[in-house]
Structure 1
Amino acid sequence: MSALETLILGIVQGLTEFLPVSSSGHLELVKAIFGSDYEQQQGLLVTITLHAATAFSTIFVFRKDIFMILSDLLRFKRGESLNFSLKIILSMIPAVIIGLIFEDFIASLFVGKIALVGVMLMITALLLFLADQVNENNKELNYSNTFYIGVIQAIAILPGISRSGATIALAVLLKIDRNKAARFSFLMVIPLILGSMAKSLMDGDLSQDSTALLPLLVGFVSAFITGVFACRWMVALVKKSQLKYFSFYCFALGALAILFSV
């Protein structure tokens, strides 16, 4: 794979990881257009590198929050940092269970089912649109709300359901402060990304991947820089109640996917 290809893939990964447009849904549409072996052509090393880049971009954007949380935990200090960490763990449980048990089965259901992906994109569009209609957001994130957000994050394994869009939208619909909703949504996914990378490393065979160092470096840098931009932009959009623009995009893309499958 060339440096130009990994540059483009890095930009796409950085944008779709954070913006509420469903990277998995876009991947299914791309495979329908360019062939089902498109994902395999990307290579395991490239996939892991791009996911690592977006994980690091999240860590960079929220580095102060993460430093404070880790600092308090290492000092065994009870308080908000411990509660926040427990909420992160709680939110991971549904996604880990569904991901480990049903990920391959769910993925097989969507192979070639472009209309189904289109329907999921429309559901994402509806969630984003409804979230923008909420005016009062002043509630704190409690454990029950955390579990609900974890459940919808697990549901977002369905291609077409945006993980960031679904989790942030639900948090806003639960009247949680918009800034806290975005912050929690992006921090809660870091362990899942790292876990997914570890699983890919254990399941895959890197010896079969011949991608050179330069394309990997280009892909990492492009995904990291784009990810930092997209993450900060997304937080700003959530605060300003401007998710509806992505709602329109997801609805239009979903409609096109359904028409394409007819």
Structure 2
Amino acid sequence: MNIIEAIILAIIEGLTEFLPVSSTGHMIIASSLMGIQSDDFVKLFTVAIQLGTILSVVVLYFKRFFQSFDFYLKLLVAFIPAVVFGLLFSKKIDDLLESPLAVALSLVIGGIILLFVDKWFKDGKVDNTKDMSYATALKVGFFQCIAMIPGVSRSGASIVGGMSQKLTRKAAAEFSFFLAVPTMFGATAKKLYDFFKDGHSLSGQEINLLIIGNIIGFIVAIIAIRSFIGYVSKHGFKAFGIYRIIVGGIILALLLSGNNLQVM
């Protein structure tokens, strides 16, 4: 991986992590199109640059992150299902990460759901995450686990989960952002632990790529979050559904035409 490829992947991560379009799916496809050869560092990079996007949430919602102990308890409750399912199905998840077909199908199916989600859950009454219950937080956590299937979208699954529990679009999106912090931090910490446990080390160039990737991901994610909240509050999720269906359809067409997409 060279610096240009690292910058492109970081931009994609920052743009897509908090949008319901699947950052993992986009990273897999972008890596394939750029011909990036899969190795342990590339796999680490695509996860570790999430630290920059995590920081963007903390910066944008700084006051909310220090508002009450109750806030942290709700995040913990919502985070628990991801820990359990992640440990139980880590091998299967890794296998799915190498399947462009799984990504394409997930993009299309998720896109169809987003076309109708605004109609299905239009009666949201909870407009502030501090008013949501612990039971709601746990249910959103279970919805988030669906995103362990590549192409589903962590933010999309958790937002739909929140809306199904009477959260407004804005409140569901914001809780999805908050929940990303422990979830993505945990995933990154585990990836780093496994990387070094297996005897790998980082060269000076690889460290520089990680630093650059996180800085770019941080900046782009701030812009994406601000834009997304404003847009979805007014217009809903239909446009994201259409986008997912188009992207997933293109990938399926390439696969059916015999194009052997390489994955990370």
- TM-score of the superposition, structure 1-length normalised? 0.84
CA distance in 2, matches of 1:93, 1:216: 28
Check if 1:136 corresponds to 2:123: yes
Query: What does 1:40-79 correspond to in 2, within 5 Å?
Result: 40=40, 42=42, 44=44, 46-47=45-46, 49-69=48-68, 73=69
Query: What does 1:41-120 correspond to in 2, within 5 Å?
Result: 42=42, 44=44, 46-47=45-46, 49-69=48-68, 73=69, 82=70, 84-109=71-96, 111-112=98-99, 114-120=100-106
Of 214, 220, 238 in structure 2, the residue corresponding to residue 220 of structure 1 is: 214
CA distance in 2, matches of 1:225, 1:39: 27
The letter for the 1-side match of 2:49 is L
The letter for the 2-side match of 1:259 is A
CA distance in 1, matches of 2:195, 2:149: 22
Report if aligned partners of 1:4, 1:215 keep a CA contact under 8 Å in 2: no
Count matched residues. Answer: 248
The letter for the 1-side match of 2:26 is H
CA distance in 1, matches of 2:133, 2:123: 17
Query: For residues 95-134 of structure 1, what are the alpha-carbon distances to aligned partners after superposition, in whole Å with 9 as ceiling and x for unaligned?
Result: 111112212212214523x333222112221232222224
Report if aligned partners of 1:92, 1:192 keep a CA contact under 8 Å in 2: yes
Query: For residues 19-69 of structure 1, what are the alpha-carbon distances to aligned partners after superposition, in whole Å with 9 as ceiling and x for unaligned?
Result: 11111222333455456843646363x446511111111111111101223
Question: 135-144 vs 114-123, which deviates more?
Answer: 135-144
Q: Residue in 2 aligned with 1:77? A: none
Give the CA deviation at 1:176. Answer: 1.1
Check if 1:164 corresponds to 2:155: yes
Backbone CA RMSD of aligned residues: 2.4
Summarize the Cα distance change of 1:43–1:209 in structure 2 as closer, same or farther, 3 Å threshold: farther
Give the CA deviation at 1:226. Answer: 0.2
The letter for the 1-side match of 2:145 is A
CA distance in 2, matches of 1:86, 1:39: 37
Query: What does 1:143-182 correspond to in 2, within 5 Å?
Result: 143-182=134-173
Report if aligned partners of 1:55, 1:190 keep a CA contact under 8 Å in 2: yes
Unaligned runs of 5+ in 1: 74-81
SS of the equivalent of 1:189 reads helix
CA distance in 2, matches of 1:215, 1:97: 31
CA distance in 2, matches of 1:6, 1:252: 25
Unaligned runs of 5+ in 2: 257-264
SS of the equivalent of 1:236 reads helix
CA distance in 1, matches of 2:5, 2:34: 15
Question: 199-208 vs 147-156, which deviates more?
Answer: 199-208
Give the CA deviation at 1:217. Answer: 3.5
Give the CA deviation at 1:148. Answer: 1.9
CA distance in 1, matches of 2:202, 2:208: 18
SS of the equivalent of 1:211 reads helix
Report if aligned partners of 1:28, 1:159 keep a CA contact under 8 Å in 2: no
Summarize the Cα distance change of 1:3–1:168 in structure 2 as closer, same or farther, 3 Å threshold: same
Summarize the Cα distance change of 1:216–1:25 in structure 2 as closer, same or farther, 3 Å threshold: closer
Summarize the Cα distance change of 1:217–1:116 in structure 2 as closer, same or farther, 3 Å threshold: closer
CA distance in 2, matches of 1:92, 1:200: 17
CA distance in 2, matches of 1:126, 1:55: 28
Report if aligned partners of 1:107, 1:158 keep a CA contact under 8 Å in 2: no
CA distance in 1, matches of 2:220, 2:57: 11
CA distance in 2, matches of 1:227, 1:110: 23
- TM-score of the superposition, structure 2-length normalised? 0.83
